[in-house]
Amino acid sequence: MTVKGKKRGRPSTSAPVLSKERIIECANTLMAKDGKIPSIRKLAASLEVDPMAIYYYFTNKQALLEAVTVSLVAKIYTPKLSGDWQHELAKLCESYLNLLAQYPGLLETLLGMTAHGPATVFTERFDLATAGLSLDEELRNNALSMLADYLHGYALAMSCQAGDALKVDMMVGPLSFYMQALQQMAKP
């Protein structure tokens, strides 16, 4: 029986320090490259650490998955309270679709998650963009759900197409229609 020549024990002092941030950054890089969340083994190999070292920072793969997706979704545009709400909401939607296009496996990962961290980030940004409207809770929740479903469907359509016939800027018309309806339904 042969034993791999893998060095055990503490890492040498010349090795980069392992941290949550470094693990998440490496996972983001691999996800952009491969189009899916990397396995713990692949992530560990890229970081040149034992796979168990990752579990020191994340209790399980689900915890890592949530941290990675939250870190990615946190990159989307943060609307300004003082801006025109329609312009701010359009920039948020464009930013979100560009993120989903940049990380092809992100949409599938988001839709398969049971944790609400990434959705909370988008919800907070939606609330910032629409702060100028007087939306009651039911209208806000319905508007948020409809927008999220539209954006996810649009991102899915972009990922399934041959070539790049469908682009992010093509959502301007439907999004404008959505915003006009939302403004009409908002309380004066």
How many domains does the chain contain in total? 2
34: domain CATH number is 1.10.10.60
Token pair 């939306």 is at which residue? 135
pLDDT, tens digit, 9 for 90 and up, residues 64-96: 888 888 899 999 999 998 779 999 999 999 999
Task: For residues 160 and 101, state if they share a domain.
Answer: yes
pLDDT, tens digit, 9 for 90 and up, residues 123-178: 999 999 999 898 999 999 999 999 999 999 999 999 888 766 888 989 999 999 99
Task: For residues 66 and 151, state if they share a domain.
Answer: no
Whether residue 12 lies inside any domain: the answer is no
Q: Report d(CA 97, CA 156) in Å as an integer.
A: 10
Task: For residues 36 and 116, state if they share a domain.
Answer: no
Domain range holding 56? Answer: 20-70
Task: For residues 57 and 89, state if they share a domain.
Answer: no
Contact 32, 102 (CB under 8 A): yes
Average pLDDT in the chain: 87
Task: For residues 96 and 123, state if they share a domain.
Answer: yes
Task: For residues 45 and 82, state if they share a domain.
Answer: no
Task: For residues 45 and 113, state if they share a domain.
Answer: no
Whether residue 27 lies inside any domain: the answer is yes
Higher pLDDT, 107 or 127: 127
Q: Which pLDDT belongs to residue 129?
A: 95
The last residue of a domain, from among 49, 70, 91: 70
Whether residue 2 lies inside any domain: the answer is no
The last residue of a domain, from among 51, 70, 89: 70
Whether residue 56 lies inside any domain: the answer is yes
